[in-house]
Amino acid sequence: MINVVCVKWGEKYGPEYVHRLQRMVKKNLTFPHHFVCYTDDSTDLDCDVILIPKSDNLEIYWNKLGLFKSWMFKGTCLYFDLDVVIQDNIDDLLQYNDKLTGVYTYWDDVYTGKDYPYATLKYKTPFNSSVMVWKAEDYYWIWDKFQEDVDWNIIKYFGDDKFLGNEVENKQTFPREWIYSRLYGQDSLDEPNEVLKLYAGYSEGVYNYPECMICLFNGPTMKAHYKGFEKYWNDAT
């Protein structure tokens, strides 16, 4: 039984995003699985939930690291951010459960290994946690490592992607052709020349590769840029 998990914290995402993801997983994963939402608020959620302990005192994406707690899961875990769109069968993701596996983000790779004075850039890596797979028992130590100095890790890394990218050596990324970004495309051949227009509201979107497995979006604040993607969750019954 595969653990398919997501995290919903705060008010950024409503329960409809959880249900949308749940429908897409049901349509595109043929393996038996258990869908769970790790959340601070189970209101209106029609799925199994694990409540985020208030004692964790974490905000936004940092709660994602709670998925690595030793009491949370056993066996294979498959994680999705709530703003991803699953476009095709995702069974092949599970081939990569021998290591913690995430998304390769080429647009962040240009910062790797460079010394920037800004916290948002200093520890950037091309490892992205929007989609991940791992064997739970092999990575319980991640939560313990984070807990050694929570405040310092938050200040130092400025995001869970940078924490995982820098602190986890035994990791890998999915094939680049499987997952693409709505903003940045599939690889470095896609010039993100429309990104500023997108943020400024002059365009409804940039890249669309229906032949790919998964599309990464940029949160619910850009709802107009989901136009044309509704079929992926509306038909997922």
CATH classification at residue 105? 3.90.550.10
| β-strand pairing of 48-51 with 33-39 | parallel
Residue 78 predicted with pLDDT over 60: yes
Summarised one tens digit per residue, pLDDT across range 94-113 is 999 999 999 999 888 888 88
Q: What percent of the chain has pLDDT over 70?
A: 90
Residue 189 lies in a domain: no
**E strand or H helix that includes residue 27:** helix 15-28
Confidence of residue 143 (pLDDT cuts 50, 70, 90): very high
SS3 category, 201: coil
SS3 category, 143: helix
Bridge partners (DSSP) listed for residue 136: none
C-alpha angle with apex 27: 26 to 30, nearest 5 degrees?
Answer: 75
Residues, the chain: 237
Confidence of residue 80 (pLDDT cuts 50, 70, 90): very high
**Who has greater pLDDT, 144 or 207?**
144
- Please report where in the chains the tokens 């993100």 appear, as a residue: 192
Residue 194 lies in a domain: no
Tokens of 142: 């991640």
- How many domains does one find in the chain? 1
Residue 27 lies in a domain: yes
Residue 149 predicted with pLDDT over 50: yes
State which residues form the domain around 70.
2-178+228-234
